[in-house]
């Protein structure tokens, strides 16, 4: 499979490294034409959501990214990536792609405990180490959104249709379980052999 990683700012290289450790190919999305390639999944990394939000608008890739997600592209957003996907940002800040029907609170743990790790149970995976860096949490979810992880009583992982959003950074640990989980979701969305075959046949 080929996984596209938004690479305009933030921790994209860490995701690429993890994908390559798992034997998967990644491509970087830095400009509009990068989105013309075929790919099977999309990762929106951690970083600074305000900066990434501004850059994807300026680079002219905002609409295409949103369309791909809304049309079913399996998408993983980590930390700032989750904020980019959220429909609402607490405090009245304008949302970005707004494809994921949740409300997130940015920098939700304050400056003092901005970064920490915890071992929690993640649905579909089991116990795994979670690393938080100036993380948001999910304040509320709308109908249809599954909570897949909580930490300290707060929602830190959600799944909605083709979208997974997490407040933690699975790419900065050595634990590959979360990426494997996402890759399984990408594989499940691949067109079946029969569909691929019929789309390659000339129309008679």
Window 30-59: residues binding ligand GLN (CB under 6 A): 46-49
Of these, 133, 138, 149, 158, which contacts ligand GLN (CB under 6 A)? Answer: 133
Let me know if 169 is a catalytic residue: yes
Let me know if 67 is a catalytic residue: no
Element containing residue 49 per DSSP (H, E): helix 49-58
Query: Smallest distance from the beta carbon of 84 to ligand GLN, in angstroms?
Result: 8
Query: Smallest distance from the beta carbon of 203 to ligand GLN, in angstroms?
Result: 46
- What does each C-alpha distance from 168 to 122, 149, 192 come to in angstroms? 12, 10, 32
Contact between 9 and ligand GLN per CB under 6 A: no
How far does Cα 130 stand from its chain's mean position? 15
Let me know if 79 is a catalytic residue: yes
Query: Smallest distance from the beta carbon of 161 to ligand GLN, in angstroms?
Result: 23
* Orientation of helix 12-21 relative to helix 177-189, angle to 10°: 80
Burial of 134 (C-beta count, 10 Å sphere; 0-12/13-18/19+): middle
Would you name the residues annotated as active-site residues?
79, 169, 171
List residues near ligand GLN by CB under 6 A. 46-49, 79-80, 83, 106-107, 133-134
């Amino acid at each position: 499979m080929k996984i596209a990683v938004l690479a305009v700012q933030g921790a994209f290289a860490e995701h690429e490294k993890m994908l390559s450790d798992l034997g998967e190919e990644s491509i970087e999305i830095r400009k509009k034409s990068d989105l013309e390639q075929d790919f099977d999944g999309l990762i929106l990394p951690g970083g600074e959501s305000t900066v990434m939000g501004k850059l994807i608008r300026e680079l002219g890739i905002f609409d295409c990214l949103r369309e791909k997600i809304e049309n079913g592209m399996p998408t993983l957003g980590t930390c700032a990536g989750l904020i980019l996907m959220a429909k609402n940002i607490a405090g009245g800040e304008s949302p970005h792609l707004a494809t994921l029907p949740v409300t997130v609170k940015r920098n939700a743990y304050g400056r003092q405990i901005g970064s920490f790790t915890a071992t929690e149970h993640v649905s579909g995976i089991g116990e795994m180490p979670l690393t938080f860096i100036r993380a948001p949490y999910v304040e509320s979810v709308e109908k249809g959104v599954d909570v897949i992880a909580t930490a300290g009583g707060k929602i830190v992982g959600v799944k909605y249709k083709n979208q997974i959003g997490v407040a933690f950074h699975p790419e900065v640990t050595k634990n590959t379980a979360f990426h494997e989980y996402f890759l399984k979701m990408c594989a499940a969305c691949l067109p079946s052999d029969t569909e691929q075959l019929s789309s390659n046949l000339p129309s008679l």
